A and B are shown apart, each in its own frame.
Chain A
Amino acid sequence: MIASWPRAGGAAPKRGCSLIRPSQPALLLFFVASILAGAIGQSFAFDPQLTVTLWPPVGLLMGLLLVSPPPRWPWWLAASGLAELTCNALWWSNPLLPALGYMAANLAEALTGAVLLRWAAGQRFAFRTPRETALFALCCALVAPMVSATGIAAIDQLIGKADFSMTWPLVWLGDASGALVFAPLVLVVVNVWQARTRTTALTIVEIAALAGLLVLVAAGAFTEQWQVHYLALPLLMWAALRFQIRGAVGALAVLVVAFAALSRALPQSLDFPERSALDLQSFFVVAALSGLLVATLSHQNARARAALGVANARLEDRVRDRTARLVAALRAGRLGVIEVDLASGAVTLDPAARHLLGLRGGRFAPAELLAQIVPADAARISAELQHAARAPSAHRITLSCRTRLGRSLLIDADIHARSGQAGLLIGVIKDITDRVAAERRQQLLVDELSHRVKNTLATVQAIAQQSLRRTTDPERRDSLIARLTAYARGHDLLAGSNWQAAPLDQVVAQALVPFGGGERFEIAHDGQPVRLPPREALALALALHELCTNAIKHGALSVPAGRIFIDWEQRDAGQRFAFNWRETGGPPVAVPTRRGFGSTLLQRTLALDLRGTVDVNFREDGLECRIIAPIPADSPQPPALGEETA
């Protein structure tokens, strides 16, 4: 991968300024490669007057400077300079001074390109983005060759070899094309060397085919009839798309080497009568730029696809994980999932739901499903489903059904309209058969217990009745029996609420029944519910009985015009309630001289059982009783075993 360059200088960061000599084989290899590159350049020397049409050695040096840390640069520069002087000795035989000048100009060019690109694109330069490729083209192919073009053209002008304006563009384009092809080549070779990528046999065949076709195109360029070097472009794109930067650079190198080899093999074609050197240089520059850019885009595309693949895989993992957790939770709760599409009329059950209902198959038409599980209830359930589809919150439907195996089941379906999807319902179903059966057993038990308590009270009443049958004070007997009955009435209410709590309005209504009900009483309350647990409800029921009895004997109920006002309200945000009893229109009230059982019951028992204050006021115009007491929480916890209860 192009992205994995070693950080330049990262391997030996001891001292920033100290020089590090590359190994001798590396130096030797670079020296030989530079001479070979010079040979390629020499092959492009179409005009004997001008030595350069395409100059690879400077690209080679530039590439090496880009991948190696600056402390090694002097050695690479020296090796490159030496190679150039060797080339001069081999082929051109320029006098020493101009040759040294050419060399200096070329080394300055390579340094300029490498330093500029490192400054612009960072030390870890690679052809990763179009921006990096553009920066490379700008620094190494546009700006840097200007340095050598200016130097070499000036020398040629000075020694009278050629005109400055003629030399400059040739050197500039020649070095630019050399840099565009050979600097990336060094990067790719180093990278391939480090990455040790494997290639399949098929890829090797593809590469060989590409190389062969490129050689053919190069050969075509040397025939006068078909000047088909532009056919190299599609091959270059193919290589760039398939193998990214490696493909583009490799194809370019093959093309350049093929041109060089052919021009050596067919020296008579070197004439290029109708073709200027500039034409060929332009072709190489355009081909190299296009190839590099397409390679970069292809690389970016491949990376994006790989990143997308990784993100997708991660997402899939998360989805799988969440689904697995959801399924596990559903399984732990023995819940089945049901989906209903009211529009298409399809019901979908997950395996757990099918198992629960004893059904086969996952999708059903509602009619078919209802016929299988609840023939009697079908109409009600259809209506409830329609209702659930419009309800803003979850809706519970209870179904009683019979499975294929004949088991009777009670099923609770909690379903919810799916937001944004009209007519789509989703929810869970749960087998509540056992729970409901347990609740029924418990209800039976409570009923039975209640029945026995009441029978006991009735028996106590009967015993009192019999024992006091011949008493001289029948009033006392009747009052005892009436109290027992009032107590039993309170008991009735509590049994009706499963011994949880009785609503205050019912306690009052029940207590007033034996005393003429609503006719003599004016009842008002703030409408806020007040629920009293068993002890408080029974205490208040008895208290009301005493108040009524007293009112009949001495108070408002002893004369036809008398009336009793009863009202209550919540206080302190439902923490307490205030209850008032006020008699009017009765005979003048006298404060009793003796505390009877009735007033004791009222003031002591009531205050104690209600845990509140009871204020009985014997006003002259009628008795008044004010109660303020806390509203206990519903369903009090049973006391721990052995603990004494009040």
Chain B
Amino acid sequence: MAACQLEAVRVFVVEDNAILAIMLEDMLGDLGCAVAAIGSDLAGAKDIAATVAADVAVLDINIAGEASFPVADILAGRGIPFVFATGYNQARLPERFGVAPFLSKPFLPEELEQVMLDALGR
């Protein structure tokens, strides 16, 4: 079963919309993952990104009007894979993130699972 592959994976979530954050938490829970931390603004998310003990991150792009790309850069620097989940078109991503796994909102639990597996290289 796919769920087994994500068992006990620690996920860092960046999402400014509380309802979406809760849903994401539920979905991740259903997949057997553990939410390591949730960032809801850029400054806080950057701080968390620098220290959080996570296996993978799911990043919303527009957090309270700011792009979350600096967070992605910090994670990339630490070698933590990340996934973008956004309502924006993939074409809007900066070139350096062109190959990053990408989720178009709204998404199904199966899609989330697939993208996270891609990001983790499993």
Contact = CB atoms under 8 A, between A and B. Distances in A.
B121 interface: no
Interface stretch (B17-25, B38-46, B49-57, B67-75): B17-25
A466 B22 CA distance: 8
Contacts of B20: 455, 458-459, 462
A484 interface: yes
A47 interface: no
Contact of A447 (B22, B88, B106, B107): B88
A459 B17 contact: yes
Nearest to A451: B87
A355 interface: no
Contacts, number: 66
Given A451-B86, A459-B20, A482 B108 contact: yes
B104 interface: yes
Contacts of B19: 459, 462-463, 466
Interface in A473-527: 481-482, 484-485, 488-489, 492, 495-496, 514
A452 interface: yes
Given A458-B87, A484-B106, A485-B106, A465 B26 contact: yes
A14 B98 CA distance: 103
B17 A492 contact: no
Interface in A598-631: none
A269 B92 CA distance: 118
Contacts of A460: 106
A463 B20 CA distance: 8
A477 to B, nearest CB: 11
Contacts of B23: 461-462, 465-466
A452 B105 CA distance: 10
A593 to B, nearest CB: 30
A507 to B, nearest CB: 15
Contacts of A447: 88-89, 92
B66 interface: no
Nearest to B110: A514
Contact of B106 (A451, A461, A514): A461
Given A453-B87, A461-B106, A463-B19, 12 more contacts: A454-B105, A454-B106, A455-B87, A458-B107, A459-B17, A462-B20, A466-B23, A481-B106, A481-B108, A488-B106, A514-B108, A514-B110
Interface of B: 17, 19-20, 22-23, 26, 62, 86-89, 92, 104-108, 110-111
What 3 A-B pairs come out closest when comparing CB atoms? Answer: A454-B87, A462-B23, A458-B106
